[in-house]
A and B are shown apart, each in its own frame.
Chain A
């Protein structure tokens, strides 16, 4: 797994590439949700606020929001999820990414957890 990943308490991961932030959900989260059957993606160009719902993941009998870890503009969505939502289950950190957000200036992810911190956090869940 990519050492650069940072995690939120809502079980999203983010990967910073300059002022672009890629967002997905953690392996723990996909496992809790079960078989993902549909991903409701935002539109490219949408302006989002930190903490706002940006995508919806649906399993057979549950619905879960994905929240924006930062404010910015949606610049990419993972269109492969429209046909193959199961990618979120099969490859949560790679092929199952969800959106990319462009932030103004430098992305602030200092208050997010790194891999070890997140694992410790999961033990307390």
Chain B
């Protein structure tokens, strides 16, 4: 079965690339919080819950929204849209934030809105809530970006008719170092014609995901 990457998004350092187009660039490297806020605002995503998310969810959410802007989910059953994401550091940045709230016995105020984000799959929940995706979903951990793992997992979902479309990618944040890559995968025929973009779909393969990831 032929599957295609009909759009992709890269978020890293000081820039954002969507379908080979540089859509955001800052000369100076910003702190992650300022950077992602600037990308969110420029992307006109308009979703106030964004501000309540932890850093890793903001990263994954923005990378997902920018891919989804380039594609149409019309005609797809919400239960047949999957989300498969991965990273290396799980929710470590937020784990450390939660840990700070319980370090001191005299200032012991664990915060539910921090704690809830100490799971890597919460970003999947945020993406699903915004877009009403209800299909297969999983968060995988690997030491570094593993295109083969993602490809095989997602490929199986299509192969056995579990999904008709899937958001797939890597959303890594550790300290102020971050790197996100999302791709929208569909069967042949479900291309991004409606968005009217000139991007030519790539075959969904581990090799092509590595090519996208190594984009400069």
- Whether chains A and B associate is no
- A residues in contact (CB < 8 Å) with B: none
Chain B interfacial positions (CB closer than 8 Å to A): none
